[in-house]
Amino acid sequence: MQTRVDRQLRALALAKACAACGARVRTIGHLTGLPPREALRLLFPDRLAVPRGRSPDSPEWYHGANLLHRTEASIVVALYRRLRDADFPTGEALVGAYRHYVGICQPPHRISFDRAFDLAAHTDGLWLTDTRSFSLVTCPTCHSEFLAAYGSVARSNDHCPFCKLLQRYGTDPRVQGAFPVRPLAAPSAGDMGMLTLLHQASASGAKITAADP
């Protein structure tokens, strides 16, 4: 059983993590329950550093967004849902998913933490709304998960951003810049040694087989 102090410490730790990801005060309040004034006092001693601007709105934005935005939005929500399916609490799942997204996608990152929060809210019907606007569906061609209108069923890859990204990759410099081909890592000395041993063992086996009557 968590005590009140435990819950407060958890809320503060989550709030700090959200702020480090660039979250607005409003978003931090939804995720942690901290009052706005307390969040401002504890997390933003420099008021000039407070994130400002209009909060994102996902349902209409996503359907009109370009290919790269829809691809990265799908990556964020897919990561979030995997952590939720593994029984991570909602706030921690969102922070973990966003950190992973930032680590695997090429900057500049097109999905802000507040946008990720809004996407997750409209996928699970949490925080901001009781209505689900999105579902994660699996493409029958590439088997990637992508965001679609709630209740959608992917019967083809017509709306899969990942398939479209692959189709454009050879001719679209923006897509190539967002998802550059990463060179294979050079084998280590240990790997080379293991390959040499395997080659020698294979050669020895071939000689023994050839000598058998």
Q: Is the pLDDT of residue 199 over 70?
A: no
Tell me if residue 175 falls in helix, strand or coil: helix
Confidence band of 208 (pLDDT split at 50, 70, 90): very low
What whole-number distance in Å separates Cα of residue 162 and Cα of residue 170?
A: 14
CA within 13 Å, CB half, 115: 17
Residue 207 — pLDDT band, cuts 50, 70, 90? very low
Please report, rounded to a whole number, the percentage of residues in the chain having pLDDT higher than 90. Answer: 69
Helix boundaries (H) for the chain? 4-20, 25-32, 36-43, 58-64, 67-85, 90-104, 113-124, 161-168, 173-178, 189-211
Question: Residue 153 pLDDT > 60, yes or no?
Answer: yes
Q: What is the mean pLDDT of residues 38-55?
A: 82
Q: Is residue 108 pLDDT above 50, yes or no?
A: yes
pLDDT, position 5: 85
Q: Give the dihedral of Cα atoms 103, 109, 110, 114; nearest 10 deg.
A: 70
**Rounded mean pLDDT of the chain?**
87
- Can you tell me whether residue 134 is helix, strand or coil? strand
State residue 192's pLDDT score: 53
Give the contacts of 79 (CB within 8 A, at least 6 positions apart): 96, 97, 100, 101
pLDDT digits (tens, 9 = 90+) for 115-144: 999 999 999 999 999 999 999 999 999 999
State if pTM tops 0.85. Answer: no
